[in-house]
Structure 1
Amino acid sequence: MKTPLLRHPMRFFTLLMAVALLGTSCSKDKDDKKDSGFPRTVTVEYKVSSNSGLNKADIMFTNETLGETDINDAAIPFNKKVEIKLTEPVGIGLTGASFVGGNLKLEIIVNGKSVAAQEFNSNSTTSGIVSHSFVR
């Protein structure tokens, strides 16, 4: 049984992600220049998977209004696509947490291209966060 105290790490990670994204600057590849400028609409896909048999996790992601969607006990593998209208530089993120040990892979895909992916492993509580910034 989860208590509100166990959910605070996800909120803390989200806050850290937001602060880090505000101060992040990125260089652009030539391929990225065609996808730059504002306003524009992007298709964002969030994926959470596990190769250790985890079958559920708490997931939080940036939604189509640039707010947060929080899903408790989401089935893994998890896959969600949203369209986001960008009017200015902004950061998006994906957080996953399981209150048992194992492996979680988090990935953000923008317009069909993987822009952030990382695996997180733990023998107890497994959690992680990945993020991506849209810049000029």
Structure 2
Amino acid sequence: MKMKNLKISIFSVLLTFFASALFIGCGKDDKPYDPTAGYPKDATVRYEVSSTTNNTASVTYTNETGEDTSIESVALPFTKEVKKKVEFAEIFTLLSSIPVRNNESESVRVKVFVDNKLVEDKTASSNSVSVVGQARYQFGQ
């Protein structure tokens, strides 16, 4: 009798285990996570450059074609908006350089917004030759 009860108990445990696995494993959400889902997508990228110590800078940014655009001696504050259909892992970069005068400390602040949300905010300072601020954003990160 003990052997029969033991077999029934083992059978019951196994049946419960397999039934649970069957119900848990058959849900609609069994698809693996796909980070590329939703790409390509339309996005608006806005760049901002400012300085409390200088009124001009050199600026390089990723443009609508995915290439870099460089502008020398642009008036600060600088703002540029780019609209583009972006791919997963596509990178947008903003780079700004300000020359240092008379070994005085200079600073530059660079910001990147995606669809009006601030995604990168960097400030750089230096008192030798030039100060360079760089911000970058990678879609899907």
The runs of at least 4 aligned residues of structure 1 exceeding 2 Å deviation read: none
SS in 2 for 1:89: coil
Question: Aligned AA for 2:140?
Answer: V
CA distance, structure 2, for counterparts of residue 119 and residue 133 of structure 1? 19
Task: Measure, in 1, the Cα distance between the counterparts of 2:84 and 2:117.
Answer: 15
CA contact (8 A) 2:45 2:115 kept: yes
Partner of 2:110: 106
CA RMSD of aligned residues (A): 1.4
- Preserved CA contact (<8 Å) 2:96 2:133: yes
Report deviation, 1:123: 1.2
Displacement of 1:127 in angstroms is 0.7
Structure-2 residue corresponding to 1:68 = 68
Matched, 1:118 2:122: yes
Q: Work out the CA distance in 2 between the residues paired with 1:94 and 1:87.
A: 18
Distance between the aligned counterparts of 2:118 and 2:45, measured in 1? 10
Structure number with bigger Rg:
2
Give the aligned residue type for 2:39: F
Shift of 1:84: 1.4
Percent identity for Structure 1 against Structure 2: 32
State the distance in 2 between where 1:44 and 1:87 align.
13
How far 1:66 sits from its partner (Å)? 0.6
Report deviation, 1:87: 3.2
Letter paired with 1:117:
D
Output the CA distance in 2 between the equivalents of 1:131 and 1:74. Answer: 20
Could you tell me the TM-score, scaled by structure 2's length?
Answer: 0.67
Number of aligned residues: 100
Q: Alpha-carbon deviation of 1:37?
A: 1.8
- CA deviation after TM superposition for structure 1 residue 89, in Å: 2.2
Q: Which residue of 2 aligns with 1:79?
A: 79
Give the structure-1-normalised TM-score.
Answer: 0.69
